[in-house]
Structure 1
Amino acid sequence: MKSPNRIMNGWQLVCFSCVSAPLAMVGFAVVSFVPTFYAIDMGLGLAVVGAVFMFGRFFDVFTDPLIGALSDRTGGRRGPRVPWMLLSFPGVLLFAWLLLSPPDDIGPVYLFCVVSGYLLCVTAFDVPYSSIGLEISPHVHERSVLAGAKAVFQILGALIASVVPVVIGAQMGVSLGTLALIFVAAMPVAMAAFLMWTPKYTPKVVHTHPSLWGAWHNCLRQNAFRRLMIAFFAVQAANAMTVGLLVLFVTHVLQAQALVGQMFLMLLLATAFFVPVWIFLSKKIGKRRTWMSAILICSVVLVTSYSVGPGDALIMQAICMGLGACMTCDAVMPTSMLADIVARDETDSGHPRAASYLALKNAASKMAFVAPMGVAFPLLGLAGFDKTGANDPETFGVLFFFFAGLPCLLRVAVAAYLWRKLEDQIVVAPAT
């Protein structure tokens, strides 16, 4: 964007977005490595770990909207929403360390407490932080740029999480412990840069606020927001199943456990490369059509995974690159579209609601995480999935279905829904 048309210069954009990198590093590990690590390496079992993470995500469904609504009402000398970030920051550091670097003899209670604490503190930090990105710019395209810049740093954090196991070449427990050290060193630096150089902005002063329920109701009654969330939830559920089962897929279908880190690296490199491609395309054909294109392309890639067998590393690398290229659009476009909805609603109502909208979006995203943890993992366990590799074709069929079959069906349904239900020009009903 040309300088007169933007809120942040390049350095400010970096300082705002850099907080996403360490957060995404841990978040990626929690989605991709931690469940399998606790289930298999720590011996807790797939069903137990799936139940713990499923409960944690259900807990998030309630805490996200609550923290979002409270954040919309909070101010501070360093800017709106920053007090929540400062308050939750120590807990983020502590529980991320405990989750990634557990003692040897732990049980389900330890995992339950640490996962709950981590999710609560990350919610209290990330909802206010990400809300700033939604409301700081009045320009439609800069909202895509902000979402894209944040996505780039999220990809950087995820790349670190995927590269560390490859570089270290040790057991997953050692790799996760290394990630914990990197996180506690990098997060304070990123937070300091954010506080010093992110532009301050002054939201509208509102002397009266609706009740908490009223704030959520005003968000949910917007047709554009509801339709966006339906599509976003389905796509996130598809992505959660595919990414959450990638370790098992590479280990047991490709039969190449040593290539797990490499496959994640391929996925994330493609994700980073395609961020500017999707942003450019959205400016040309619109955000909705851009997202639909990525959804349909990813469906084709998922179907291709049914051709993977033992030793087909090149095919699997191509699949991971295709998945990464499309999944970055799943992150950037819905966030940018949500920023448009927030801007229109706040203009009409005069109330700051960015955090409430974002918290409801996050709740949908975290509910989607239940798909691999609460559905795929337990059903694989019931199907008799054997971590030693002695599985029959029917068991592998279950794995293929949750890794590719069901995600593909969800994506095709979302593409049809977007074509019929979601407009390019966001129209928001007057708020009460």
Structure 2
Amino acid sequence: MSLKKIKITASSSNTKFNIKSLITVYKDIPQLKFLQIGYLLNNLANALPATLFLLFIELVIKEKDSSGLILIMYFFSGIVALVFWNKLSNKIGKKRAWLSSIILACTAFSFVPFLGENDLNAFILISLISGLSLGADMALPTAIQGDLVQKSKNLHTNISGLLFGIWTMITKLSLALAVAVSFMILGIFDFDAKNASELSLFVLMLLYGVLPVCLKIIAIFFINKYEDIKQ
């Protein structure tokens, strides 16, 4: 798909954006919406387990004292994997590498519903594997967005600020939605961390281990529809 020139009234020193210019961006770069929707869904899928991690490890795995160590291992795994994802993206492309990381995370998290008390080692293994995917989620979608911004500079008006603003808003929105959705649903089922019922623990399991996988699968669909724009 080739870029079209976006006609936006602006001065060289101060570009003003409005609803019309925003609509024009999505009209002339139709692939943008697929990337942003996929990014939102994947971020939401990552934010849900992050929000409920302490509750899950305390009430389901029953290893609250191990939470700090597991988090350290999780983030360390993500940092180490950055080199791998960077090399892989150079070979197969950023989008395909990112999709590969999401599939890896889905595969690992598909075992979460089978976890219970005394399954600490299995939970650590799942955390390490999903941590590998975190490295890709941290770097690749932002890199894809950066490439798009660079190519957008060929447009009649530089819209890089607008694109980065939307990207930042999506990032924050996914975190806010994770907190709102998870605790709202837990509240509906009268969740009480001090005296959790079997039903509320089941709902916690669904929110922590099942819903994120479903969201990532939907995200794969949208990301796969995104095609890199050509100069």
Q: Does the 8 Å CA contact 2:113/2:206 hold for their aligned counterparts?
A: no
Letter in 2 for 1:359: G
Match of 2:125 in 1: 318
Q: Sort the Cα spacing of 1:397 and 1:375 in 2 relative to 1 into closer, same or farther, 3 A.
A: same
Distance 2:14 2:124 in 1: 54
- What is the CA RMSD across the aligned residues, in angstroms? 2.0
- Greater relative CO, 1 or 2 (CA 8 Å, sep 6+): 2
Alpha-carbon distance in 2 for matches of 1:212, 1:366: 21
User: Do structure 1's residue 295 and structure 2's residue 118 form an aligned pair?
Assistant: no
Percent identity reads 21
The aligned runs of 1:83-102 (5 Å cut-off) are none
CA distance in 2, matches of 1:359, 1:310: 43
Confirm or deny that 1:226 pairs with 2:33: yes
Structure 1: 4+ residue segments shifted above 3 A:
210-221
- Equivalent AA in structure 2 for residue 276 of structure 1: V
CA shift, 1:224, in A, is: 2.5
C-alpha distance in 2 between matches for 1:399 and 1:371: 16
Shift of 1:217: 3.5
Question: 2:69 aligned with 1:262, yes or no?
Answer: yes
1:392 aligns with 2:192: no
Q: How far apart are the structure 2 equivalents of 1:349 and 1:331? A: 31
Verify: 1:414 aligned to 2:219, yes or no: yes
TM-score, with length taken from structure 1: 0.48
2:82 aligned to which of 275, 281, 284: 275
Equivalences for residues 365-404 of structure 1 within 5 A:
365-388=171-194, 390-404=195-209
Q: Distance in 1 between matches of 2:130 and 2:46?
A: 9
The two structures have a TM-score, normalised by structure 2, of 0.88
SS of the aligned residue for 2:153 comes to: helix
CA shift at 1:384, angstroms? 2.0
Amino acid at match of 1:404: G
Residues 68-93 of structure 1 deviation map (CA, whole Å, 9 limit, x = unaligned) = xxxxx9xxxxxxxxxxxxxxxxxxxx
Contact 1:215-1:356 within 8 A present in 2 as well: no
**DSSP-derived class of the 1:349 partner:** coil
Distance, in Å, in 2 between the alignment partners of 1:315 and 1:211 is 50
Which residue number in structure 2 is paired with residue 426 of structure 1? 229
How far residue 316 of structure 1 moved from its aligned partner, in angstroms, is: 1.1
Paired position in structure 2 for 1:243: 50
Letter paired with 1:405: V
Q: 1:391 aligns to what SS in structure 2? A: coil
TM-superposition CA deviations, 1:168-196 (whole Å, max 9, x none): xxxxxxxxxxxxxxxxxxxxxxxxxxxxx
Partner of residue 92, structure 2:
285
Q: Cα distance 1:262–1:208, how it changes in 2: closer, same or farther (>3 A)?
A: closer
Q: Write the distance in 1 (CA, Å) between the matches of 2:177 and 2:115.
A: 23
Gapped runs of 5+ residues in structure 2? 1-9
Match in the other structure for 1:155: none
Deviation at residue 311 of structure 1 after TM alignment: 2.1
